[in-house]
Copies of this chain bind each other. A is one copy, B any other.
Amino acid sequence: MELAEAKSKFIETWGKLGSEWGINRTMAQVHALLLISPEALTTEEVMEQLSISRGNANMTLRDLISWGLVEKQHKPGERKEYFFAEKDAWTIARQVAQERKKRELDPVLKALSELSQIKGDEKNPEYKAFKSSVSGINKLAGNVNKTLETMMKAEENWFWGSIFKIFK
């Protein structure tokens, strides 16, 4: 396989994965492109390499920055902005986990803990079923939350080391 072919396959794969997990495909593709690029790229280059419009490239790059996955770079004597991606896989995973936790898990956790407070008639099967399902999910979500918080603080080696020590 050619390097060029491998690159587009990687961009395609990463884009597909993103879209299956609720991340805009283009955003994942731009991220992939920057991930495998040794140099920071301009908006222009991103547009060309992925055949997307200026507006799309601009918005996507801003999104990636807000996710903490991409940073701007300025080259001395040039006005153009360059963009490059964090390359360390573990840092990327932590960053994504942190953002999604903040944007999506935290609100759900809040709603669940409110819902699991609800009082009612213990004789009512509707109430009992509701209560027990919601509490169960709430407890699980709490565990997921704690694990993510630990992961966000952890070093890669320590994290996987700890996990595998247990799973061996």
Contacts and interface: CB of A to CB of B under 8 A. Distances in A.
Contact of A38 (B17, B126, B162): B126
B17 A108 contact: yes
B147 A13 contact: no
Interface in A39-72: 39
Interface residues of A, number: 57
Contacts of A88: 136
19 contacts: A1-B114, A3-B120, A3-B126, A6-B130, A10-B115, A20-B22, A21-B21, A37-B126, A38-B128, A87-B133, A87-B136, A89-B133, A90-B136, A143-B163, A146-B167, A147-B167, A150-B167, A162-B167, A165-B166
